[in-house]
Amino acid sequence: MKHVIALSGGKDSTALALRLRELNSDVDYTYVCTPTGDELPEMFEHWRKLGDLLGKRITPIMHTTGLKGVCRAEGTLPNFRMRFCTRILKIEPYRRWLKQNAPIVSHVGLRADEEGRAGGAYSDIEGVEMRFDLREWGWGIGEVIGYLASLGVNIPYRTDCARCYHQRIGEWWSLWKNFPEIFADAENDEFELGYTYRTPGRDTWPTPLKELREVFESGRLPKTVKETLTGLRDVGACRVCSL
pLDDT, position 238:
45
CA atoms within 13 Å, Cβ hemisphere of 28? 3
Can you tell me the mean pLDDT for 125-130?
96
Can you tell me the mean pLDDT for 123-148?
96
pLDDT, position 120:
64
Can you tell me the mean pLDDT for 155-173?
93
| DSSP-assigned states of every residue in 125-150 | STTEEEE-HHHHHT--HHHHHHHHHH
With vertex at residue 9, the alpha carbon angle to CA 6 and CA 81, rounded to the nearest 5 degrees, is 85
Helices (H) and strands (E) in the chain, counts: 11, 5
Going by pLDDT thresholds of 50, 70 and 90, the confidence category of residue 157 is: confident
Which region among 40-44, 73-77, 146-150, 233-237 has the lowest average model confidence (pLDDT)? Answer: 233-237
Residue 237 reports pLDDT greater than 60 = no
Average pLDDT, the chain: 92
Q: What would you report as the CA-atom Rg of the chain, rounded to the nearest whole angstrom?
A: 19
Please name every residue paired with 32 in a beta bridge, in sequence order, or none if there are none.
6, 59
Q: Residue ranges of the domains in the chain? A: 2-151, 169-229
Can you tell me the mean pLDDT for 96-110?
96
Amino acid found at 130: M
Contact at 8 Å (CB) between 84 and 70? yes
Contact at 8 Å (CB) between 104 and 97? no
Amino acid found at 237: A
Backbone angles phi, psi at 179, to 5 degrees: -135, 65
* Pairing, β 59-60 against β 104-107: unpaired
pLDDT, position 27:
96
pLDDT, position 229:
78
The residue length of the chain stands at 243
Pick the closest to residue 9 from 158, 174, 162, 112 (CA basis): 158
Domain at 2-151: CATH architecture: 3-Layer(aba) Sandwich (3.40)
Going by pLDDT thresholds of 50, 70 and 90, the confidence category of residue 230 is: confident
Going by pLDDT thresholds of 50, 70 and 90, the confidence category of residue 71 is: very high
